[in-house]
A and B are shown apart, each in its own frame.
Chain A
Amino acid sequence: MSETWMIAGVWIAAGLTIFLFSFLYKDNPFFKIAEHLYLGAGMGWWFQVYLYNIWIPKVWDPLAHAPHDWGVLIPAVLGLSLVTQFIPKISWVSRYGFTFLMGYGAGLVVPASLATDFMSQIVGTIKPFSALGSMSAFSIFNALLIAVGVISVLFYFFFSVEHKGAVKKVSNFGIYFLMVYFGAAFGNTVMARFSLLYGRFDELNAAASAHNFYATQIILAAMVLYFLVHGMIGKKPSAEEAH
């Protein structure tokens, strides 16, 4: 890619970032442009991904070139059948595709998830108690904490028994574990969002260099100017001025 195109790309990226951030100040046409462009470009991007990475190598090439693999017609037709749901008269055909997807998906995922997320987690909770003698005091405390947390949270989500008396106390105790989890998750979410914002700012800083002809500064100044002019033009005259 030529240098000119690279710099043009930097300008577009910096511009779109600033246009989208400008919504934090207030809604404006530049934000709308960036928003619509994002949707359109996203659709175009996915179309070419599916065309060049799936349809051509996985369907067209095996059918068009020797040795022909006619077997790919079966999944291709099943996949195409999903599209028929947009045509009411023949939408029933899509059921074949969905049936295959559901059967295949459930068969693949259910046993694996049961082993991974159910059995392994139960084993992981119980296993430390088989080696208590060789564990440090902190490890024992850790194992107990996990076991108590699992049991009390399970009680909290067990609705077939009325939550009163001992059950209520245990399930209430489970709430504290849930609160700790939600707190940790929220803290991490804040950190993640800041990381993403830092990433964009880092890109804007790179676009601000002389090599990129000060893309960030120029676009930012243009946006500020737009808001100033728009603010002045759009200002309603006061009652006194109107007379």
Chain B
Amino acid sequence: MKEILQKFFKIDRRWIFLLLAIVLFTPIIRPIGLPNKTIARDTRNAYEALDKLPKGSFVLFSLDYDPSTRPELQPQATAVIRHAFRRDLRVGVVTYIAGSTGLIQQIFEKVPGEFKKVNGTDYAIFPYMANPTAVMTQMASDFYGIYDKDQDGKDARSLPVMKGIKSYKDMAMVVNITGTSILDSWVALVGDKYNVPLVAGVTAISQPGYGPYLQTGQLKGLIGGMKGAAEYESLIQEPGKGTSGIDSLNLGHLLVLALILTSNIILLVIRYL
């Protein structure tokens, strides 16, 4: 008996890779529709912070992620921008990650049309900038000192969406969705220093590390990973890529739990029985 059980620990790990691939791929082909019933407090806080803003408020989105974290962060960004457009907020988009530009374009090719929003009037996208700390510092005194043109080369000052916006004090909120440590700079150099309400979306890996900023109120809300994206999609009642990924995540987690439990039980049996 023990010899048979011992074989379990010598199993070729490629079988586990294959099993994981099947478990994650199957719900993509045939969705199971597992519900996403729990909404994290931090995601709800992020939603409510944006929801409370008066119509026409200007929200600056800093979308700083590249294709490597796209599955987690693109659904978050899409959901929050949908929410902003639905609330008739003015949207400005900046990025400090060069790989983000194409992903931002993907969002804005689709989402503004759903709400009949017009480039330049309801939203503006600004070009990629290197050295985020220098740019963030400069924007505190003069936004146009850095962004004198939008990404299409139009004069930023003359855009209707930018009316009355000169620095952070004219902005109602900054939303940073990032797979990098740029969020630390937003908190330290902008949120804390200029009292700008800050909401963030991060990868699941970095989510626990930002807990202290939530406790102190330095972040008004935090969306974490694909689960956070699914939660935000539930709150705005617009299921997207985050929601559709929940089936795969749930099954993947169940597989990991099953493997951990099985191997521990077998180990106990081998050792004590």
Q: Which residue numbers of A lie inside 8 Å of B, CB to CB?
A: 24-25, 45-46, 49-50, 53-54, 105, 108-109, 112-113, 115-117, 120-121, 123-124, 146, 181, 184-185, 188-192, 194-202, 205
Contacts and interface: CB of A to CB of B under 8 A. Distances in A.
B66 to A, nearest CB: 10
Given A198-B245, A205-B28, A191 B127 contact: no
19 contacts: A53-B128, A53-B130, A108-B137, A120-B216, A120-B218, A124-B217, A191-B227, A194-B248, A196-B68, A196-B72, A197-B252, A198-B71, A198-B245, A199-B70, A199-B71, A201-B21, A201-B24, A202-B241, A205-B25
Contact of A195 (B29, B208, B216, B226): B226
Main secondary structure of the interface of B (DSSP, over half): helix
A188 B224 CA distance: 9
Nearest to B190: A112
B249 A191 contact: yes
Contacts of A192: 72, 203-205, 225
B189 A54 contact: no
Nearest to A113: B188
A24 B16 CA distance: 11
B207 A197 contact: no
Nearest to A128: B215
Contact of A191 (B128, B209, B216, B226): B226
Contacts of B217: 124
Nearest to B99: A45
Contacts of B69: 196
Interface residues of B, number: 50
Contacts of B20: 197
Contacts of A105: 133
Contacts of A124: 212, 215-217
A24 B203 CA distance: 24
Closest 7 CB pairs of A and B: A199-B71, A124-B216, A192-B204, A112-B188, A116-B188, A195-B226, A188-B204
B188 A185 contact: no
Nearest to A202: B28
Contacts of A46: 98
A32 to B, nearest CB: 19
A54 B71 contact: no
B176 to A, nearest CB: 14
Interface in B196-225: 203-205, 207-209, 212, 215-218, 224-225
B204 A116 contact: no
Interface-centre pick from A116, A121, A123, A196 (highest chain B CB count, 10 A): A116
B208 A201 contact: no
Nearest to B209: A185
A117 B70 CA distance: 28
A201 B204 CA distance: 19
A112 B253 CA distance: 39
Contact of A146 (B72, B130, B133, B215): B215
B37 interface: no
A202 B71 contact: yes
B240 to A, nearest CB: 12
Contact of B98 (A53, A117, A123, A200): A53
Contacts of B256: 190
Contact of A25 (B14, B188, B227): B14
Contacts of A191: 204, 225-227, 249, 253
B192 interface: yes
B4 to A, nearest CB: 27
A146 B212 CA distance: 10
B192 A115 contact: yes
Contact of B208 (A108, A181, A196, A205): A181
Contacts of A196: 68-69, 71-72
Nearest to A57: B127
A49 B97 CA distance: 10
A189 B69 CA distance: 12
A231 B60 CA distance: 56
B187 interface: yes
Nearest to B28: A205
